[in-house]
Structure 1
Amino acid sequence: METPIERIKLSQTAKDQLLKLRRNTKIDQWNILCRWAFCRSLAEPTIPSPVPIPQDSNVEMTWRVFGGEMSDILLLALKQRCYNDNLGTDKETLITQFRLHLHRGIGYLAGDLNIKKIEDLIELATKKI
């Protein structure tokens, strides 16, 4: 599937938050933590606040690295979320919403004091709402 998002560059704040998550969960790969964060934000019913996000860290990856084998599914989830939020699914909207969801999700995971190990991420993902 053709993706409108070619490269992802994180903010320095997000990098620092991911470093904390790496220490706690022992998940070393940025892309795996970013997938968790993106899905965490998508699970939130509200639209992310449209805040400017700097691209000032040295953490950068392609969409394929970010999504891995799930890249098509994650892109479909993003498109569906944008459609559900009445935002449209044009290239710029998808890029903007992806960055907002990714950074919001990283903030949520890093700020969750209950995430102290990988099992806590799994518990969060399988918790019934």
Structure 2
Amino acid sequence: MSLDNVRLSQPAKDRLVRLKRTTGITQWNVLCRWALALSLKDPSTPLVKDIVTDSNVEMTWKTFAGQHRDLYLALLKQRCVVDGDEPTDENVAKALTVHLHRGIGYLGGHKEMTRIEGLIRSAVSA
């Protein structure tokens, strides 16, 4: 597992398809960034550890993280440390997958996050 490519599970893809329709955000990477941020904001450890990334949605790390890839990488490494894992490449890649999918679940599971305003409120709330 590496950070070179970011892949999604089929259920995650299905949720993002619905979110693209309801939010008007058309880019996978933008929604995925929101999802990652929401999951990293939650101090609890994600319950699901093994995710099958079986959809046809795949993007490079550069596309996923954009110009802030160093920041996203630092956040993932820091989260590994907080969760008691050494920030190796493999653990960081696994943290990305787990937190990305948990965040997509958060986005798809709350009606207020199906609109841009809800996404912004979730980002600025304490």
* TM bin (shorter chain): over 0.9
Distance in 2 separating the partners of 1:87 and 1:13: 27
Q: Which has the higher helix share?
A: 2
Distance in 2 separating the partners of 1:18 and 1:85: 27
TM normalised by structure 2 equals 0.94
Q: Which residue of 1 aligns with 2:70?
A: 72
Distance in 1 separating the partners of 2:86 and 2:48: 15
After the TM superposition, which parts of structure 1 deviate over 2 Å for at least 4 consecutive aligned residues? none
Q: Which residue of 1 aligns with 2:80?
A: 82
TM normalised by structure 1 equals 0.92
- Aligned positions of 1:55-66 closer than 5 A: 55-66=53-64
Query: Is 1:48–1:100's contact at 8 Å kept on the other side of the alignment?
Result: yes
| Percentage of identical aligned residues | 46
Residue identity opposite 1:103 in structure 2 = H
Distance in 2 separating the partners of 1:94 and 1:49: 16
Displacement of 1:50 in angstroms is 3.8
Q: Which residue of 1 aligns with 2:107?
A: 109
Query: Is 2:5–2:61's contact at 8 Å kept on the other side of the alignment?
Result: yes
Partner of 1:115, secondary structure, is: helix
Distance in 2 separating the partners of 1:116 and 1:35: 15
Distance in 2 separating the partners of 1:72 and 1:25: 27
- In structure 2, the gaps of 5 or more residues are none
Q: What are the Cα deviations for residues 59-96 of structure 1, in whole angstroms up to 9, with x where unaligned?
A: 00000000001111000000011111211101111111
Aligned Cα root-mean-square deviation (Å) = 1.1
Distance in 2 separating the partners of 1:7 and 1:116: 26
How many pairs does the alignment contain? 125
